[in-house]
Structure 1
């Protein structure tokens, strides 16, 4: 066997090792069917029925709290809409309102991030129902060097960062970071 052929075979073997596909952990996709949990950067619409001075949009700050009149900071990070509404109602019951009726909805989701082989990498507003493919489209599309077969998504699940290589049709979540890899040939 010639030295050149041997070198080509070794390069091919090395490249095959670099592109080894490991499927994402089950939790990576399971989170998509669970109730949405708030995190820093989400803007929430809190409605306290018959209390116009308390009904407003509140930003979940970097410490994971929203700050409301009368009751101050309320932990929101990691809570669902039902859990946060109950926490706000409990604080309002403690000396302010007899039977507070509270609802919480997302006014604006935290952004997603996209980088790699896209025309305009950066931070973009998340819209419910987005896929990796629509995120790429929002960022101006793929570059000529992009590997369009799959993307890598980094997602925080229960305080742990997980990375999954998924097709463009996979849904994304607020706060996800999408990385479009460069193709080899």
Structure 2
């Protein structure tokens, strides 16, 4: 004769499975939202105690910031912390004794919506945006737009990857959201 498993055990097992799924979703969202700089971003670089070296700079087409004294610094595919360290090291190399640097994004590069949307084009990025928001900004789907066939092109030129997307997929600055046409 087997003894029935207590209902408490089944409830705990279900709760544990749900908790693990939530943790996995959170980790995926965090991995998608690590932001790296690229052409079109506007960055504020503050060199504390040196107002002439501080200012707002646009990342140029080559992915560089042109800073006083040290010249162009490549920041493409760097986080703000990595860029801060790179700028710090450049100023430390014969220009400043103890540079204290801060780097922050003040304007993101645009994202793009194309395909079966009413107003395809380039739009200002808002942090936390997903595909549904991007399509809404682009005027919504056309009558032939297929919400089940959407992809995001992410990256720069040769390193660009195609990501199958749902309406809940996170959109990053510089992404191209492409909505396919449905046939029936």
TM-score (norm 1): 0.78
Deviates more, 1:156-165 or 1:62-71: 156-165
Q: Shift in Å at residue 177 of structure 1? A: 0.6
Determine helix, strand or coil for the equivalent of 1:171. Answer: coil
Residue in structure 2 matched with residue 84 of structure 1 by the alignment: 83
**Aligned-pair CA distance for 1:30:** 8.1
Whether the 8 Å CA contact 1:44–1:106 is kept in 2: the answer is yes
Number of aligned residue pairs: give it. Answer: 157
Matches within 5 A, 1:150-165: 150-156=149-155, 160-165=159-164
| CA distance, structure 2, for counterparts of residue 161 and residue 72 of structure 1 | 28
How many Å separate the matches in 2 of 1:65 and 1:157? 14
The equivalent residue for 2:38 is 39
Q: Which residue of 1 aligns with 2:179?
A: 180
Tell me how far apart the structure 2 counterparts of residues 128 and 68 of structure 1 sit (CA, whole Å). Answer: 27
Give the 3-state SS of the residue equivalent to 1:179 in structure 2. strand
Matches of 2:157 and 2:102 in 1, distance apart? Answer: 24
Please give the alpha-carbon distance, in whole angstroms, between the structure 1 residues aligned to 2:114 and 2:183: 18
- Select the structure with the greater relative contact order (CA < 8 A; seq sep ≥ 6): 1
Residue 14 (structure 1) aligns with:
none
After TM superposition, the score normalised by the length of structure 2 is 0.78
1:117 paired residue number: 116
Cα distance in structure 2, aligned partners of 1:157 and 1:53: 32
Query: Runs of 4+ in structure 1 displaced over 3 angstroms?
Result: 28-31
* Preserved contact between residue 31 and residue 157 of structure 1 (Cα < 8 Å): no
Query: What is the aligned-residue RMSD (CA, Å)?
Result: 2.1
